[in-house]
Amino acid sequence: MRILISLVSSSTTTGLHLLSFSRRLHTKIPPFSTLIHHKPSPAMAASEDSLRRAKLDKSVMEKQLQAAVNGNGPDGSVNKEAFRQAVVNTLERKLFYIPSFKIYRGVAGLYDYGPPGCAVKSNVLSFWRQHFVLEENMLEVDCPCVTPEVVLKASGHVDKFTDLMVKDEKTGTCYRADHLLKDFCNEKIQKDLSISAEKAAELKHVLAILDDLSAEELGAKIKEYGITAPDTKNPLSDPYPFNLMFQTSIGPSGLSPGYMRPETAQGIFVNFKDLYYYNGKKLPFAAAQIGQAFRNEISPRQGLLRVREFTLAEIEHFVDPEYKSHPKYSEVADLEFLMFPRELQISAQSAKKIQLDEAVSKGIVNNETLGYFIGRVYLFLTRLGIDKDRLRFRQHLANEMAHYAADCWDAEIESSYGWIECVGIADRSAYDLHAHSEKSGVPLVAHEKFSEPREVEKLVIAPVKKELGLAFKGNQKKVFEALEAMNEKEALDMKASLETKGEVEFYICTLGENVTIKKNMVSISKEKKKEHQRTFTPSVIEPSFGIGRIIYCLYEHSFYMRPSKAGDEQLNVFRFPPLVAPIKCTVFPLVQNQQYEDVAKIISKSLTAAGISHKIDITGTSIGKRYARTDELGVPFAITVDSISSVTIRERDSKDQIRVDVEEAAPVVKSVTDGHKTWADLWANFPHHSSVSVED
């Protein structure tokens, strides 16, 4: 038997070889000498020696893999490629998720969740509802995925929801232009040892302004750096915009165009008027929606992080733009966590821990309501199991923000792919409601009633239809609407120009051109009048959660490897909190015994009645292997039946065990999975069970 082992320390290939070799030699092979009672022949002795060496090599390789995955190597670093491969292999093998339509070779950017993956996702969404919808008394809605074109035209998605794409000029394969430039810059900075300091600084500057580059500028950089198609090295086309929405038609005629929604938010905005009335015409209030969204990604990659169909959980918190304080802000004000304001980014510094109240009071975070939701998002993610030291809140740079946004922050989670945007928290001002009001003709506004009438000075814009009709004929209506839509500053500037010059150039966005407005075409004045209420368009604070991205980062943050008791193999473990674990508990008879199996079934019925997801295993497999199988699924607790009157409960990460009476087993497990008690509480209140040899 020849066994060839390639060991190149600290390289990516090491981790992949380790995984592959570890799986091939996973089965323990007993020495031949225990099976053959006569003296072995030289050939058999050589085979036995080869097998011993193989087992030793397997042990060494698994330990190296564990070091690469857990960061226990000589330099304390983690081999990211090996770590990611170990996580993904485990997730796919245990059916957390798999590529969709696998038997037909799959489709990039589409994935199926298997049983444990579905359970984790369900638990995450259940906690999201509890943490946000119930806690904040939000109004939950469920809107269609198919959206008429007119809605997405008003929101700006039809015209602006694009990425710049390039094509391989020979094969026609498509790539995202900014991704190619980003990958080139990172590759040069990280791996090209001959690069000069000036060139490195130039590439870092390109990365900093990447989102701000036009199609022409992006194309020029691709040509300057000689970037070609990654797969074929063929030349690339010039970048051009590609709309990311999936287009469809509504009804058989094909005359009513529509799209699969790219976000769930628009369904909430168009229902604002009804929701406002449902809420008793009171502000602030929030509406929430969980649902599927669709984006026709140019070149999906990074597994669950960039896909074409995904689950979003979005909140639209409607608030008076003049009163953005929050009554529960004090509950999160003292939280301290990693924040990355734009000033630190511009000066090339790192994120640092800042107290939330300090960030709000200094104006780093625009207002209390935005700060409140940043704090609530931090609590949500850390309670799910996200490592707080690998979570940061990054403020959008000026070139990233839409012109109408007051402030935007992203909750970014560090993974083997780098920092990943998982939650966006934005103050979108009143843009969305304004846009749908203008397009639909339905005023999406709120009212504040005054206790006593107030005298206010109102701007009155009165276009003269007759004069506009004579001057603009068929375009009269568009000019009329544009004049009425002017804000106070625009109107007063026009008034001053008309009084001094008699005419003024005025841009009509719906025409895409300037027109000349003369003094006789519009009257602009201020009038004093008494008002009993104030009418305004609410601002929107929007936290938007990418559920798939959060779940994938949770998988990485929960995964580690540890040696078996015998020390001859490395075992995979997911340290999910009970809150999100796909199965909360397993029930095992210690050995195959009818009485033990009957007790196990009684406990199983009690767990079912208590609403605890569990799995019962009465196979004859050794208890150690059964523990290892459930640890790999992230099951936090295991009940082992080793008598007819009492059982042991094992905690996954410490492997400690307590002993409880049979009838206490289900209530005890429920108390800790529901969060009413911790394992430390149980450890302090129940007898400990020693399991020196059980897991062997």
Q: Is residue 187 part of a domain?
A: yes
- Judgement on whether residues 593 and 686 belong to the same structural domain of the protein: yes
Q: What pLDDT is attached to residue 504?
A: 92
Q: For residue 484, is pLDDT > 90?
A: no
With beta carbons less than 8 A apart as the criterion, state whether 647 and 585 touch: no
**Per-residue pLDDT reduced to its tens digit, 641-690:** 999 999 999 999 999 999 999 999 999 999 999 999 999 999 999 999 98
d(CA 115, CA 436): 41
- Judgement on whether residues 522 and 603 belong to the same structural domain of the protein: no
Q: For residue 606, is pLDDT > 70?
A: yes
Q: How many domains does the chain have?
A: 3
DSSP strands (E only) in 322-432: 336-340, 352-355, 391-395, 407-415, 418-427
d(CA 550, CA 420): 9
- Judgement on whether residues 518 and 594 belong to the same structural domain of the protein: no
Q: How confident is the model at residue 52 (pLDDT cuts 50, 70, 90)?
A: low
Q: Is residue 370 part of a domain?
A: no
**Per-residue pLDDT reduced to its tens digit, 89-138:** 999 999 999 999 999 998 999 999 999 999 999 999 999 999 999 999 99
**Residue 587, domain CATH:** 3.40.50.800
Q: Is residue 638 part of a domain?
A: yes
Q: Is residue 597 part of a domain?
A: yes
The one-character DSSP state at 277 is H
- Judgement on whether residues 589 and 521 belong to the same structural domain of the protein: no
Q: How confident is the model at residue 402 (pLDDT cuts 50, 70, 90)?
A: confident
Q: For residue 256, is pLDDT > 60?
A: yes
- Say which residues have a Cβ less than 8 Å from residue 483's Cβ, sequence separation at least 6: 461, 463, 506, 517, 522
The one-character DSSP state at 392 is E
- Judgement on whether residues 526 and 589 belong to the same structural domain of the protein: no
Q: Is the dihedral of CA 81, 82, 85, 87 positive or negative?
A: negative
Q: Is residue 218 part of a domain?
A: yes
Q: How many residues does the chain have?
A: 696
- Judgement on whether residues 528 and 587 belong to the same structural domain of the protein: no
- Say which residues have a Cβ less than 8 Å from residue 437's Cβ, sequence separation at least 6: 443, 444, 445, 537
For residue 443, the SS3 value is coil
- How much of the chain, in percent, has pLDDT values that exceed 90? 62
Tokens of 355: 């107290």
Q: What pLDDT is attached to residue 619?
A: 81
Q: Where are the alpha helices (H) located in 279-367, listed in sequence order?
A: 342-346, 356-361
Q: For residue 377, is pLDDT > 90?
A: yes
Q: For residue 333, is pLDDT > 50?
A: yes
Q: How confident is the model at residue 602 (pLDDT cuts 50, 70, 90)?
A: very high
- Judgement on whether residues 523 and 590 belong to the same structural domain of the protein: no
Q: What pLDDT is attached to residue 690?
A: 80
**Residue 230, domain CATH:** 3.30.40.230
Q: Is the dihedral of CA 327, 331, 334, 335 positive or negative?
A: negative
d(CA 213, CA 316): 30
Tokens of 304: 């669950």
Q: How confident is the model at residue 78 (pLDDT cuts 50, 70, 90)?
A: low
- Judgement on whether residues 593 and 530 belong to the same structural domain of the protein: no
Q: What pLDDT is attached to residue 54?
A: 60
d(CA 388, CA 392): 8
| 242-246, 436-440, 450-454: range with lowest mean pLDDT | 450-454
The residue that leads in pLDDT, 255 or 61, is 255
Kindly state the greatest CA–CA separation across the chain: 117
Q: Would the pTM count as exceeding 0.85?
A: no
- Say which residues have a Cβ less than 8 Å from residue 74's Cβ, sequence separation at least 6: none
Which domain, by its residues, includes 225? 162-243
Q: For residue 27, is pLDDT > 60?
A: no
Average pLDDT on 198-207 reads 87
d(CA 58, CA 53): 8
Q: Is residue 155 part of a domain?
A: no
Q: How confident is the model at residue 695 (pLDDT cuts 50, 70, 90)?
A: very low
* Domain stops at, among 497, 516, 535: 535
**Residue 518, domain CATH:** 3.30.720.200
Q: How confident is the model at residue 381 (pLDDT cuts 50, 70, 90)?
A: very high
d(CA 75, CA 85): 21
Which of these, 621, 682, 626, 625, lies nearest to 654 by C-alpha position? 682
Q: Is the dihedral of CA 112, 554, 392, 70 positive or negative?
A: negative
User: What does pLDDT average to over the chain?
Assistant: 87
d(CA 551, CA 565): 30
Most confident listed range (72-86, 242-256, 363-377, 438-452): 363-377
d(CA 32, CA 600): 39
Q: Is residue 181 part of a domain?
A: yes
* Domain stops at, among 520, 535, 550: 535
Q: How confident is the model at residue 19 (pLDDT cuts 50, 70, 90)?
A: very low
* Domain stops at, among 194, 221, 243: 243
| 53-67, 295-309, 593-607: range with lowest mean pLDDT | 53-67
For residue 69, the SS3 value is helix
**Per-residue pLDDT reduced to its tens digit, 295-306:** 998 888 888 899
- Judgement on whether residues 510 and 594 belong to the same structural domain of the protein: no
- Judgement on whether residues 591 and 672 belong to the same structural domain of the protein: yes
Q: For residue 281, is pLDDT > 90?
A: yes
Q: What pLDDT is attached to residue 693?
A: 44
Q: What pLDDT is attached to residue 75?
A: 47
Q: For residue 477, is pLDDT > 90?
A: no
Q: Is residue 22 part of a domain?
A: no
Tokens of 467: 């004069």
**Per-residue pLDDT reduced to its tens digit, 560-587:** 999 887 777 889 999 999 999 999 999 9
- Judgement on whether residues 592 and 688 belong to the same structural domain of the protein: yes
- Judgement on whether residues 530 and 633 belong to the same structural domain of the protein: no
**Helix 80-93, helix 42-70: angle, nearest 10:** 110
